[in-house]
């Protein structure tokens, strides 16, 4: 277990620094051979002092977060039809909420206190009042913090759920078909995932845990076998396995066939990349400096169709049709080479390298959305070296730039 904790703390989330401290003050190990460290000297990020804005980083619209933003969600919090943004700040004890203005910008950031080291957050209507709520997974505090939204963009009432060990990543998904979103948490310190059931009105109750291989990190869900029920998928940083779990009618999970991918898998993007109506996936493999594309057979099996060189230490990845040809494309961000790279899909499962845009910052996550009124998808990035949200506007032809700058 010690090895797993150390590996996670180095390979992925500075977020897990808090967890490491909490878990008997495990001593930090040197970077593993062949694996990328989380941060490099000169990267601008100092886990002890927080970070400072890089002199030559991203020049464009940005919004401040708390220390070490690690994950973002986009959802409409105030019901105006425009996506809003929430970010978990893993280096401290806060989350940041920004309301979209529909012109590609956001309101002034509002910061909310939560438990120590929130490496993750999710948005879901947990209490069933029709308004999205926010949950942070507090790695250092071994807890979840729930904020109930008022539908106007404010998050007032707060509830703590203690004794959720080392939560590093989390999804909100209805496991048992009662239409109430439940939670599933990845627990790298325990090498397992744990369900947290929604018993109504936002009352959350810890459920069973399921073993996975060492250092599970990013968890999400997708209906990979096409039966209309979600599969829960979690990637192991150490083994490179994507563990797939099928949900039973009562909300318990059963392990399906795992998928072996490359080294240190991080974020995934889902979509039908070859147009056969079956869900496919792309995953960043940080230790290999790439992203891998797997085509689904609609029954839960996947075959690798592409290995895409992204850059050094890719984490975030997003899919969308960036050039308007009706075929899904990919964008990935690299933490150590500090850039964004776009791959254009051919609609058959292959991709060609497109734009490579230097950002000059430790960009850790990315999401693709329509943030203004044009037809082109835009990108939101979070920078862990300057603690801010960055905006890149799409030109609809597959390229991105800071607004006001040439694409
Ligand atoms: Ca909104
Ligand atoms: Ca709600
Ligand atoms: Ca497909
Ligand atoms: Ca396309």
- What is the distance between the alpha carbons of residues 99 and 334, in angstroms, rounded to a whole number? 26
Query: Would you say how long the chain is, in residues?
Result: 407
The whole-number pLDDT of residue 301 equals 95
- Provide, rounded to the nearest whole percent, the portion of the chain with pLDDT above 90: 82
Ligand nearest to the CA of 320: 4
Whether 23 has a pLDDT exceeding 80, the answer reads: no
Compute the distance from residue 121 Cα to the ligand 4 centre, in Å. 29
> What is the whole-number distance in angstroms between the Cα of residue 76 and the centre of ligand 2?
12
Helix, strand, coil abundance in the chain, percent, nearest 5: 5, 45, 50
Task: State the average pLDDT over residues 59-77.
Answer: 96
Q: What is the pLDDT of residues 278-323, one digit of tens each?
A: 999 999 999 999 999 999 999 999 999 999 999 999 999 999 999 9
d(CA 390, CA 357): 13
pLDDT tier, 232 (very low <50, low <70, confident <90, very high otherwise): very high
Report CA(136)–ligand 2 centroid distance (Å): 15
Mean pLDDT across 368-382: 93
From the CA of 324, the nearest ligand is 4
Compute the distance from residue 262 Cα to the ligand 3 centre, in Å: 20
- Are 116 and 138 in contact by the 8 Å Cβ rule? The answer is yes
Kindly tell me if the per-residue pLDDT of 257 is higher than 50.
Answer: yes
Cα(232) to ligand 1 centroid in Å equals 28
The CA 345 to ligand 4 mean position distance, Å, reads: 6
DSSP string, 15-59: THHHHHHHTTTPPPPPPPTTSPPS--TTSSEETTTEE---TTS--
What is the 349 CA–ligand 3 centroid distance (Å)? 8
State pLDDT tens for residues 105-135.
Answer: 999 999 999 999 999 999 999 999 999 999 9
What's the whole-number average pLDDT of the chain?
Answer: 88
Ligand nearest to the CA of 79: 1
For the CA of 346, the nearest ligand: 4
pLDDT of residue 315: 98
Ligand 3 centroid – CA 120 distance (Å): 29
At residue 104 the predicted structure's pLDDT band, cuts being 50, 70 and 90, is: confident
């Amino acid at each position: 277990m010690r090895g797993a904790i150390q590996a996670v703390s180095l390979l992925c989330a500075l977020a897990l620094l808090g967890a490491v401290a909490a878990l008997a003050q495990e001593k930090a190990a040197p970077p593993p051979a062949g694996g990328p460290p989380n941060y490099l000297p000169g990267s601008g990020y100092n886990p002890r002092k927080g970070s400072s804005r890089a002199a030559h980083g991203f020049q464009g619209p940005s919004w401040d977060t708390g220390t070490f933003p690690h994950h973002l969600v986009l959802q409409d919090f105030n019901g105006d039809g425009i996506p809003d943004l929430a970010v978990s700040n893993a280096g401290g004890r806060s989350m940041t909420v920004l309301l979209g203005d529909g012109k590609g910008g956001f309101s002034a950031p509002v910061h909310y206190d939560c438990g120590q080291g929130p490496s993750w957050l999710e948005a879901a209507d947990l209490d069933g009042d029709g308004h999205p709520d926010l949950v942070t997974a507090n790695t250092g505090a071994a807890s979840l913090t729930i904020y109930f939204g008022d539908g106007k963009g404010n998050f007032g009432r707060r509830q703590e759920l203690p004794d959720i060990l080392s939560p590093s990543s989390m999804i909100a998904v209805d496991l048992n078909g009662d239409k109430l979103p439940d939670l599933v948490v990845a627990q790298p310190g325990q090498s397992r995932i744990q369900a947290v059931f929604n018993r109504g009105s936002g009352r959350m109750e810890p459920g069973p845990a399921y073993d996975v291989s060492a250092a599970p990190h990013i968890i999400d869900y997708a209906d990979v076998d096409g039966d209309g029920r979600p599969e829960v998928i979690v990637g192991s940083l150490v083994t490179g396995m994507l563990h797939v779990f099928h949900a039973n009618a009562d909300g318990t999970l059963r392990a399906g066939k795992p998928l072996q991918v490359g080294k240190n898998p991080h974020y995934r993007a889902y979509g039908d990349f070859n147009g056969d109506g079956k869900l496919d996936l792309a995953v960043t493999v940080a230790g290999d400096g790439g992203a891998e594309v797997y085509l689904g057979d609609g029954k839960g099996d996947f075959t690798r169709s592409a290995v895409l060189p992204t850059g050094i230490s890719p984490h975030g990845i997003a899919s969308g049709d960036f050039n308007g040809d009706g075929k899904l494309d990919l964008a990935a961000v690299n933490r150590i080479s500090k850039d964004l790279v776009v791959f254009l899909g051919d609609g058959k499962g292959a991709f060609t390298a497109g734009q490579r845009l230097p950002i000059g910052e430790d960009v850790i996550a990315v999401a693709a959305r329509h943030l203004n009124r044009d037809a082109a998808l835009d990108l939101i990035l979070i920078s862990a070296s300057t603690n801010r949200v960055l905006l890149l506007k799409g030109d609809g032809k597959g390229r991105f730039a800071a607004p006001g700058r040439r694409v």
